[in-house]
Amino acid sequence: MTPEKSDTNPAAGPNTGMTRRSFLRGSAVIASGLAALAASLSPLRELDDAPSAEQFLQKYYKELTPAEMARVLKRIEDEVERQYGLRPHVRDLKPLDGVEFVYALNLTRCIGCRRCVYACVAENNQSGTPEVQYIRVLRLPDGSLDLEKAEHFYHPESVPEKGYFYMPVQCQQCKKPPCVKVCPVHATWQETDGITVIDYDWCIGCRYCEAACPYWARRFNFAKPSVPKDRLNLNMAYLGNRPRRRGVMEKCHFCIQRTRVGRYPACVEVCPVGARKFGNVLDPASEVAYILRTKRVFIQLKEELGTSPRFFYYFDV
């Protein structure tokens, strides 16, 4: 049978209308198409942190029953142990009743030494490469709060420098947080003690909150975060400093793993000049309540935006 005749071959079936030649040609096209598709997908072989079924299907934080939460915490501990060879203690710490945390920062005292930045990195298991930091210290010329005049990368021999003052900025824990409003999946919310938290296992990584934050307080994990093993802080909280994954947001959470068990945030503890004050504003005897009662002038950064920060800058007058 010649190839030309195959066009009229009744064996091909009256309704398929497909000849052997067109079938072969079609198969060749499909096969090479599939090969090209497979080749184009080959970088997926380098994927080293694909989610397990358990991770993929994990429920939203607020919907986890205590038993489910216990399983999740154990899974996280297992994951950390597998990666670092050290077993952490991961807790799900709830906000305490009758507590609303407030931060006060004395701009007269701050010397711009950035010890808070490094203490925060160590306490909160922040990635070294790529570098993630929650606190940014701005150097401003005396007399101006125009942030456009801020120098972010000052590096003198020693601080403080004449003619400048320093303003550390981190999450302002707003009472009306724009980041919470814009999140399309409720992955970030404000807790009763005033801390805005992120469920790292629920965030889809759209970065809308990052665009919405007027304080540039949020950070995105553009790559897989890496924490040096000898720096790993094993005291972890689910909504706090447990290791994050690639592709999710994170930010300052007032050191939930410390403050919800009665300790100070790492940045407060490390500050050598006592510029940082932290406490429960609902307790009249607390230092922050005293400061807010007695100081005449505060700055709530970008007050005009109506975000109502729980972070107050003040001066010694």
Q: Is 156 in the site for another protein (CB under 8 A)?
A: no
28, 31, 204, 273: residue in contact with another protein (rule CB under 8 A): 204
Whichever of 147 and 289 has its CB closer to another protein, that residue is 147
Could you list the beta-strand ranges (E) of 135-287.
136-141, 164-169, 188-190, 196-198, 219-220, 235-237, 249-250, 276-280
Residue 37 lies near another protein (rule: CB under 8 A): yes
| The pair of three-digit structure tokens given for residue 78, joined into one six-digit string | 């297992």
164 sits near another protein (criterion: CB under 8 A): no
- Best CA proximity match to 314, nearest among 108, 161, 100: 108
**60 interacts with another protein by CB under 8 A:** yes
Task: Find out whether 116 and 271 touch, Cβ atoms under 8 Å.
Answer: yes
* Minimum separation from the CB atom of position 185 to another protein (A): 4
Of the ranges 112-120, 201-209, 228-236, 276-284, which one interacts with another protein (CB under 8 A)? 201-209
Task: Select the residue interacting with another protein from 25, 89, 94, 149 (CB under 8 A).
Answer: 149
- In terms of C-beta density within 10 A (0-12 exposed, 13-18 middle, 19 or more buried), how is residue 246 classed? middle
Q: Which amino acid is at 217?
A: A
Q: Which of 210, 282, 292, 298 binds another protein (CB under 8 A)?
A: 210
Q: How far is the CB of 41 from another protein (least distance, A)?
A: 5
Tally of CB atoms within 10 A around 138:
18
In terms of CB distance, is 169 or 237 closer to another protein?
169
One-letter amino acid for residue 54 of the chain? E
Q: Interface with another protein by CB under 8 A: which range of 67-75, 205-213, 259-267, 281-289?
A: 205-213
83/64 Cα distance (integer angstroms): 25
The token pair at 152 is 């972010």
Contact call for residues 119 and 266 (beta carbons, < 8 A): yes
Stretch that binds another protein, among 65-73, 79-87, 241-249, 273-281 (CB under 8 A): 241-249
Please give the helix or strand (H or E) that residue 170 lies within, else none.
Answer: none
For 10, the token pair is 């009744």
- Residue positions counted in the chain: 317
Nearer to another protein, 51 or 274 (CB): 51
User: Interface residues for another protein in 79-138 (CB under 8 A)?
Assistant: 130, 136, 138
Binding of another protein at residue 203 (CB under 8 A)?
yes
Q: Is 69 in the site for another protein (CB under 8 A)?
A: no
| List 206, 289, 292, 299, residue binding another protein (CB under 8 A) | 206
Residue of the chain from 247, 287, 295, 300 that contacts another protein (CB under 8 A): 247
Q: Are 242 and 125 in contact (CB under 8 A)?
A: yes
How far apart (Å, rounded) are the C-alpha atoms in residues 97 and 147? 37
Q: Which of 24, 34, 70, 223 binds another protein (CB under 8 A)?
A: 223
**Is residue 39 part of the contact set for another protein (CB under 8 A)?**
yes
What dihedral angle (degrees, nearest 10) is formed by the CA atoms of 122, 260, 73, 201? -70
The residues of the shown chain that bind another protein, judged by CB under 8 A, are 14-18, 22, 33, 36-37, 39-48, 51, 56, 60, 130, 136, 138, 146-150, 152, 169, 178, 181-187, 202-208, 210-216, 218-224, 245-248, 302, 305-307
